[in-house]
Amino acid sequence: MEFSHKSVLLDETIAGLNIKEDGTYVDGTLGGGGHAYHVCSHLSGKGRFIGIDQDAAAIEAAGIRLLPYQDKVKIDIVRSNYQKTPQVLQDLGVGGVDGIVLDLGVSSYQLDTPERGFTYREDAPLDMRMDQRQEMTAKDIINEYPEMELYRVIRDYGEEKFAKNIAKHICLARQEKVIETTFELNDIIKAAIPIRARSAGGHPSKRTYQAIRIELNQELTILEQSIDQMIDLLNPGGRICIITFHSLEDRIVKRIFRRNENPCTCPPDFPKCVCGKVSKGTVITRKPILPSNEELEENRRSKSAKLRIFERAQ
């Protein structure tokens, strides 16, 4: 299947990067190369682009997508997790960069490839690995996590109010047989949610699948651990643009951006700062940038997207 992914908030992200034609730019979630293609289109022969993704299909697709710029811009594509960006840059002999893009969440390709097990709309093995070199799958979480741990994951990462009952039903079902497919899991989740609640708020499995995927791929932990070090990689005036797709991600980005803008830990009643912590830059987006009405009409998956931008101090 072709790796197709409609880049969300594309124009807003490219504008937000404030691209310098001789600059160095990183896309830590390369995907099909949608944002990357447009970043490269703004670069001169002295510019450099580094794309990072942990999905082999994305790496292959982005390489093809960026072929028109291979002879015009210095391009490196690396299979890794964006958490390892400092090491990737060190290996490539790159110091600071002028911009970083993170487009979080699942790609359209991953959702539309049933055998990857990300979607509840097709019957497939419970997989959900963003990096298929990883051994653990969603099947392992569903069948091996203790009930209280399943409850925690579904409650915290899915913000699912029926998390306790869903975890209980999963544990009862797996005593009968191993839960192996998405449709088996769908039936269990459906039975755990009251009929009245199932009729509102979209597919009953949506929140649980989100939770299992986040847990399996450690998405929030990696995001939490990566933003500070990415800001440190920015050259003066460099920008980082992060697109999130649910409130858990957005809260992390908002909080860490604000802390980098105002790191002071002095009590509010102190007349002046004595902690010595210095601002690393400015939050460009006081409120997140949301998709336009036109984009929402064209791409339903952009519905929950939010873009936040931070600029490193000059």
* pLDDT, position 277: 92
* pLDDT, position 50: 98
For residue range 16-72, what is the model confidence (pLDDT) as tens digits?
999 999 999 999 999 989 999 999 999 999 999 999 999 998 899 999 999 999 999
Name residue, tokens 């986040």. 214
In order of their start, the domains of the chain are 10-109+221-312 (3.40.50.150), 133-217 (1.10.150.170)
Q: Which of 75, 101, 95 is nearest to 7 (CA)?
A: 101
For residue range 270-304, what is the model confidence (pLDDT) as tens digits?
988 899 899 999 999 999 999 999 999 998 888 99
pLDDT band for position 182 (cuts 50, 70, 90): very high
Q: Name the percent of the chain in helix, strand, coil, to the closest 5.
A: 45, 15, 40
* pLDDT, position 3: 52
| Position 99 pLDDT exceeds 70 | yes
| Position 5 pLDDT exceeds 60 | no
| Position 76 pLDDT exceeds 80 | yes
| Cβ-Cβ contacts under 8 Å for 107 (sequence gap 6 or more) | 3, 5, 31, 32, 55, 58
pTM of the model as a whole = 0.93
Q: Which amino acid does the sequence have at 201?
A: G
For residue range 216-271, what is the model confidence (pLDDT) as tens digits?
999 999 999 999 999 999 999 999 999 999 999 999 999 999 999 999 999 989 98
* 268 token code pair: 């509010």
| Position 6 pLDDT exceeds 70 | no
Percentage of the chain surpassing pLDDT 90?
A: 86
Rounded to the nearest 10 degrees, what angle do helices 182-192 and 163-176 cross at? 130
* pLDDT, position 1: 46
Query: Which residue blocks in 129-284 are alpha helix, DSSP H?
Result: 138-144, 147-158, 163-176, 182-192, 195-198, 206-217, 219-233, 247-261
The mean per-residue pLDDT over the stretch 85-98 comes to 98
Q: Which amino acid does the sequence have at 155?
A: R
Which DSSP letter does residue 202 get?
A: S
Pick the range with the lowest mean pLDDT from 164-168, 173-177, 275-279: 275-279
| Cβ-Cβ contacts under 8 Å for 40 (sequence gap 6 or more) | 47, 49, 66, 69, 72, 73, 75
